[in-house]
């Protein structure tokens, strides 16, 4: 890639993916305070609402402290310049719920589909474009496909009208080579902008993001203090510093980011966002990040090591939406050993 201009856009997901770290219990006031700090720092797009996306507040995914429109309105009212975004997952959210988010003030929707199911995004992408929204699309669990077939899926989203197509490391299973190869393949296949969303289960979220940018990604996701499912996301304030040191123009002001992370987000955290045993094995096994807490609960209930459950789930190739398999696996296990899970095209 020619990096003569070397500009990236940082998108912050503290108030959506980060919700998973606080059991979706940020209040509208918390949302307003964090969004205000991000806006002051110049972050152009801020994602909010339930950690699993619009319409996910439920017994299955966990009840949030407020409704999605309440969260959106709190963020919209708090910012002066930033666009507020929401995540839409077909099969969880409905277009009616997306309309409520539009009425509350979102300007951007992020439509997430499994990496082999881009066609599931056609209806919401086309509908959202008709409503005048900026549309970012997610290919979740992107490590499950090698670079070329992933690019073929991206081309479908591009054809539907997506403004941005993201390579999403939902399991934190990638290392820099995996991220770079996949982004480079997308760059050859689509005209839309490319984004990268990193989880940090293998401790290389920042490195993956830098490598993605070097290969053509222009939108990079982060989360203050790294808040996010399992080991969390690439840390927004660290991304800003690392990209600046690497010669990139992020358009954001580092110190307001640090101040918001330290003085607004940190006091709200239930525990530090770290790569513990379960988070590490989840990334190593290539299992969806939101399986983190349910696996820990199942391990305790059935007296089976969490690592054994995750390795078996990885062997079976489970994806988001198959959380019921956690209980099935936990109840079946009687002590086994596992081979290293395969990475597509690795």
> Which residue ranges make up the annotated binding site?
16-17, 170, 197, 199, 288
What is the C-alpha to C-alpha distance for residues 263 and 266, in angstroms, rounded to an integer?
6
What is the C-alpha to C-alpha distance for residues 287 and 311, in angstroms, rounded to an integer?
8
Annotated binding-site residues for substrate read 16-17, 170, 197, 288
Of the candidates 94, 87, 103, 88, the residue with the CA atom closest to the CA atom of residue 46: 87
Of the candidates 60, 118, 88, 15, the residue with the CA atom closest to the CA atom of residue 291: 60
Annotated binding-site residues for Mn(2+) read 17, 197, 199
What is the C-alpha to C-alpha distance for residues 282 and 305, in angstroms, rounded to an integer?
13
Query: Radius of gyration (Cα) for the chain, nearest Å?
Result: 19
């Amino acid at each position: 890639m020619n990096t003569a201009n070397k500009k990236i856009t940082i998108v912050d997901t503290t108030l959506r993916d980060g919700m998973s770290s606080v059991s979706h219990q940020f209040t509208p006031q918390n949302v307003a305070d964090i969004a205000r700090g991000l806006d002051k720092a110049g972050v152009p797009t801020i994602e909010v609402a339930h950690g699993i996306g619009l319409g996910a507040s439920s017994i299955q995914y966990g009840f949030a402290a407020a409704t999605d429109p309440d969260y959106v309105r709190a963020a919209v009212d708090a910012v002066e310049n930033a666009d507020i975004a929401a995540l839409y997952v077909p099969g969880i959210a409905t277009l009616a719920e997306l309309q409520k988010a539009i009425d509350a003030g979102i300007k951007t929707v992020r439509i997430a589909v499994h990496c082999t199911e881009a066609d599931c995004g056609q209806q919401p992408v086309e509908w959202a474009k008709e409503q005048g929204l900026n549309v970012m699309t997610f290919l979740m669990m992107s490590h499950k496909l090698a670079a070329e077939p992933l690019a073929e899926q991206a081309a479908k989203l591009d054809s539907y009208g997506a403004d941005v197509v993201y390579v999403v490391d939902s399991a934190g299973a990638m290392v820099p080579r995996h991220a770079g190869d996949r982004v480079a393949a997308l760059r050859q296949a689509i005209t839309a902008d490319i984004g990268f969303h990193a989880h940090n289960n293998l401790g290389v979220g920042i490195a993956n993001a830098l490598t993605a940018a070097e290969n053509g990604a222009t939108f990079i996701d982060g989360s203050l203090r790294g808040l996010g499912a399992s080991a969390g996301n690439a840390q927004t304030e660290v991304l800003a510093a690392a990209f600046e040191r690497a010669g990139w123009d992020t358009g954001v002001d580092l110190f307001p980011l640090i101040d918001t992370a330290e003085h607004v987000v940190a006091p709200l955290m239930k525990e530090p966002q770290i790569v513990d045993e379960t988070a590490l094995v989840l990334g190593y096994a290539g299992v969806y990040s939101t399986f983190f807490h349910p696996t820990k609960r199942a391990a305790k209930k059935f007296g089976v090591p969490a690592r054994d459950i995750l390795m078996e789930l990885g062997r079976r190739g489970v994806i988001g939406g198959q959380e019921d398999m956690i209980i099935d696996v936990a109840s079946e296990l009687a002590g086994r050993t596992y081979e290293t899970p395969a990475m597509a095209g690795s």
